[in-house]
Homo-oligomer: A and B are copies of this chain.
Amino acid sequence: MNIVGNPTSAVEETLDPQDWEAVRRLGHRMVDDLVEQLSTVRQRPVWQRVPDPVRAALREPLPVHGQPLEHVYEEFRSRVRPYPTGNIHPRFWGWVMGTGTVTGALADLLAAGMNSSVSIFDDAPSLVEEQVTRWFVEAMGFPETASGLLVSGGSMANLVGLAVARNARAGHDVRAHGVGGTIFTLYASSETHNSVAKAVELLGLGREHLRKVAVDGDFRIDTGALATAIEADRAAGRRPLAVIANAGTVNTGAVDPLHALADLCAREGLWLHVDGAFGAMAALSPELRPRVAGIERADSLAFDLHKWAYAPLEVGCVLVRQADEHRAAFAAAADYLAAARGGLVARREKFSDMGVQLSRNFRSLKLWMMLKEHGFAKLGRLVAQNVAQARHLAALVDAQPALERVAPVPLNVVCFRYRGGLSEPAALDALNRELVVRLHESGIAAPSGTLVRGSYAVRAAITNHRSRRDDFRILVDACLDIGRELEKTT
């Protein structure tokens, strides 16, 4: 890098603007554009490929010298904003991604303006995060003594929960001595999200010691097979550590039998971690809560809030039943972090003692504002609305002879495929794979694709507060049109 310029200039510089009034006007424009963008999102394609000239423009040499912020914003408007992932759109149902809200976006502005670190300090942002996590402790039916931490999302929530499990249950001081030669085993259904395996790998436990237990016809873990696997590991001298239960599997939304797993874990002395990435939100709806009954018995529970709580990225939450075990997994003494009798570090309970990060942003503000604005009751109704929309979509699919549903719909995920007159598995897979690509490229709708029992399926995971019933008819019509077109050329 060839940075030419004065060494230290004589006049002290700052990153503050010379003209605050100009920034104020530009900020107003940004708000206007944001409102325009979100209130008209339905009129635009769900997704569109970044055109090659824009791709080229987004590869620039390192900017040695600056330019007016207004110019930078114009580049954002022309090169960046038109090409989002698409999950703000009412017909985006790919993977599991939340819609975001305008309140959440404004809250991120306010949070970044304060720029507080929610960590070891005695300040209002720390109190707000405490408040928000206490609300989720209550909403999930955890005991008041449980601890909670907001994290970047489900992957980190799973990592934190399993780190606590490892450190609390290994039987030796893993933090000091390491994992060592003992083989610790963990158990989860074959439908479990990859972030669990990633956490097991990162914790040094070895992916092959995460037993992928078979599922039943509804994609729920087979508790008999689980018990057999635990017994076999014990007999072989390995040390069973934890069961990871799914509240909403990524592929089909299946919920493992949580009460049965909690009973089994209690009997066997195993840690029960629930990955409730999106499914845990069913607990917020009185009508859906029975579907995740037993979730309140977990030793640790991970869930996203940027998925089915619709908050903008990034925010997830991990709850740990025994707060002392939570802190024991991460707490550390360091000279530069010591608490004091008063001032900035009068605070005794440090957020950094409950997870990986020391510096942490004020991500709780968007939850605090959204939950106070809308209330938990409405959030629960929206979750139930998405589940009703999934049932509606399933019915639309079932009514079409050319389409075929390939999994039950226990919650908000619908897996189906175009079948038409085809029966050859490879041809069906190829057609449906191409169908998803063409749907994306059409801009009409964005489901994702996955393999269900080895067959490629179109998958709609509905965690979208902008979707309306009619949007699902549009999806089905597009699948039929594209499917028929593709079938002709097969």
Pairs across A and B, CB under 8 Å, 8 listed: A50-B123, A50-B124, A58-B124, A66-B375, A67-B375, A88-B115, A153-B358, A178-B184
A365 at the interface (CB under 8 A from B): yes
Stretch binding the partner chain, chosen from A4-12, A214-222, A267-275, A402-410: A4-12
Interface string of A355-374 (1 = CB under 8 A from B): 01111111001100111111
Instruction: Give the Cβ gap from A37 to chain B, nearest Cβ, in Å.
Output: 6
A279 at the interface (CB under 8 A from B): no
Interface contact A122-B49, CB-CB below 8 Å: yes
For A469, give the chain B residue with the smallest CB separation: B12
Interface contact B203-A202, CB-CB below 8 Å: yes
Stretch binding the partner chain, chosen from A226-234, A257-265, A304-312, A419-427: A304-312
Knowing that A79-B124, A202-B203, A336-B459 are A-B contacts, what are 20 other residue pairs whose CB atoms are under 8 Å apart, sorted by A's residue number? A8-B388, A16-B101, A20-B35, A34-B110, A66-B372, A76-B110, A80-B128, A85-B116, A88-B113, A105-B109, A105-B113, A153-B357, A175-B201, A175-B207, A178-B179, A181-B181, A336-B450, A342-B440, A342-B441, A344-B446
**In the complex, what distance in Å separates the CA atom of A317 from the CA atom of B394?**
43
Q: Take A15-B101, A284-B3, A373-B66 as given contacts and tell me if A85 and B466 are in contact as well, using a CB distance cutoff of 8 Å.
A: no
A399 at the interface (CB under 8 A from B): no
Instruction: Give the Cβ gap from A364 to chain B, nearest Cβ, in Å.
Output: 10
Q: Which residues of B contact A28 (CB under 8 A)?
A: 27-28, 31
Interface contact B69-A98, CB-CB below 8 Å: no
**In the complex, what distance in Å separates the CA atom of A175 from the CA atom of B210?**
11
**In the complex, what distance in Å separates the CA atom of A469 from the CA atom of B10?**
12
Q: Which of the residues B63, B75, B124, B373 comes within 8 Å of A68, measured between beta carbons?
A: B373
Q: Take A24-B35, A35-B23, A313-B359 as given contacts and tell me if A131 and B59 are in contact as well, using a CB distance cutoff of 8 Å.
A: yes
Q: Which residues of B contact A204 (CB under 8 A)?
A: 166, 174, 178-179, 203-205
Interface contact A344-B7, CB-CB below 8 Å: no
Instruction: Give the Cβ gap from A49 to chain B, nearest Cβ, in Å.
Output: 7
Instruction: Give the Cβ gap from A354 to chain B, nearest Cβ, in Å.
Output: 12
Stretch binding the partner chain, chosen from A319-327, A377-385, A473-481: A377-385
Interface contact A112-B124, CB-CB below 8 Å: no
Interface contact B356-A155, CB-CB below 8 Å: yes
Q: Take A108-B109, A115-B88 as given contacts and tell me if A370 and B15 are in contact as well, using a CB distance cutoff of 8 Å.
A: yes
Interface contact A312-B112, CB-CB below 8 Å: yes
Interface contact A66-B469, CB-CB below 8 Å: no
Interface contact A75-B207, CB-CB below 8 Å: no
Q: Which residues of B contact A113 (CB under 8 A)?
A: 34, 37-38, 88, 100, 102, 105, 312
**In the complex, what distance in Å separates the CA atom of A209 from the CA atom of B180?**
12
For A175, give the chain B residue with the smallest CB separation: B201
A485 at the interface (CB under 8 A from B): no
Interface contact A159-B356, CB-CB below 8 Å: yes
Q: Which residues of B contact A23 (CB under 8 A)?
A: 35, 102, 106
A332 at the interface (CB under 8 A from B): yes
Interface contact B81-A99, CB-CB below 8 Å: no
A86 at the interface (CB under 8 A from B): yes
Interface contact A9-B202, CB-CB below 8 Å: no
Instruction: Give the Cβ gap from A48 to chain B, nearest Cβ, in Å.
Output: 9
For A62, give the chain B residue with the smallest CB separation: B135
Q: Which residues of B contact A486 (CB under 8 A)?
A: none
Q: Take A204-B178, A313-B359 as given contacts and tell me if A197 and B332 are in contact as well, using a CB distance cutoff of 8 Å.
A: yes
Interface contact B287-A47, CB-CB below 8 Å: no
Interface string of A130-144 (1 = CB under 8 A from B): 010001001101000
Instruction: Give the Cβ gap from A383 to chain B, nearest Cβ, in Å.
Output: 10
Q: Which of the residues B17, B30, B332 comes within 8 Å of A194, measured between beta carbons?
A: B332
**In the complex, what distance in Å separates the CA atom of A109 from the CA atom of B28?**
12
User: Which of A76, A205, A449, A459 has the most chain B CB within a 10 Å cutoff?
Assistant: A76
For A65, give the chain B residue with the smallest CB separation: B375
**In the complex, what distance in Å separates the CA atom of A20 from the CA atom of B92?**
22
